[in-house]
Structure 1
């Protein structure tokens, strides 16, 4: 249980403790299915920042409304990354959520739901 709060686990991802049944559900496929472990390792071994940046650049041609929701206190993906992502999208809108780390649905589910509802309501 304490391992789940370590930075390399969920400690930097959620500001508040995540219920064990939720983290168990997230981890169960990884622990029980060899194919998922294989795919995760493959991704981690071959992660290429250049590929990620090239994919992000292609977002400039996305011509639909897009909502980027980012945590102001995110320790894994800094707020500046969210601002850059929203700026790449021609019709991007950024909403920054306070008092949350990466896992906004766990830390601030109400704020997340409000932001999505408002975007849907205001977007033609």
Structure 2
């Protein structure tokens, strides 16, 4: 379904949807970032496995874009995953704690553009 779209469009859609979920359910966002991720039993848990499966969507998008020549072959998809979702959690954490606004569409567009400039063959 997504393969007919450019990598940057797919990336932006993924970021936008992730931000929308965090904005729509701030309690879930707060719970996941503050409690679940920091729990001593997170490693090896079912929740960690679900998170790994969820973030594997991004890894698949990146690998597909490498195959189509849109993304440089030297890009580490797992490092990109950590950079992207780390940035989103940082932005969402500030928002759910009342320390800033989160403009979903604008943030998704800007974040996708920044990443694309760094990893895409054509920038």
TM-score (norm 1): 0.28
| Structure that is richer in helix per residue | 2
Larger RCO: 1 or 2 (CA < 8 Å, sep 6+):
2
TM-score (norm 2): 0.28
Is the radius of gyration larger for structure 1 or structure 2? 1
